[in-house]
Amino acid sequence: MRARIKHLLNKYHLKLVYKDIEGKGYIIHTPANVPDFIFVKENLSDEETEKVILHEVGHAENDDNVIGNYKTNSRAHDCYESGANKFVVSEKVKEYANLGYDTMNANWLNLAQYIGTDNYWLVREELQKYRFKG
């Protein structure tokens, strides 16, 4: 597991569990002072596992900022998922920039497809954050 993933799990006090589950992954929020759990489907590719973990870490970072019941309120559900997806894009673009790729001339459409999102504008926006860093 990459050091960045381990850092994020520690930062948000998350415990990672691989299990034979139906979906690709989910987070279980627990009471204060108890780590939340991220469950990830066994036997996913390393790349898919990383995306699932990042998505669930995105929930850990953003879920407290959303008001409403995830299961019964579609607007709240969309906000929860949007925050988690944005976290994935942000982390993957950060990784891309840290690897030394040219963020000014990057093909953001191809990068978005690689990340697994159809939110091309978000990828473009995230890339622009690195325009003058070098």
User: What pLDDT is recorded for position 69?
Assistant: 65
User: Residue 19: CB partners within 8 Å, gap ≥ 6?
Assistant: 39, 40, 41, 42
pLDDT tens, position by position, 2-53: 899 999 999 999 999 999 999 999 999 888 889 999 999 999 999 999 999 9
pLDDT tens, position by position, 62-85: 766 656 666 677 887 788 888 899
* Contact predicate 48/66, CB 8 Å: no
pLDDT tens, position by position, 99-112: 999 998 999 999 99
Q: Own/partner pairs for 116-122, CB < 8 Å, 24+ apart?
A: 116/51, 116/88, 117/85, 117/88, 117/89, 119/85, 119/89, 122/86, 122/89
pTM of the model: 0.87
Give dist(CA 124, CA 3) in Å, integer: 26
Tell me, what DSSP letter sits at residue 102? -
User: What pLDDT is recorded for position 121?
Assistant: 95
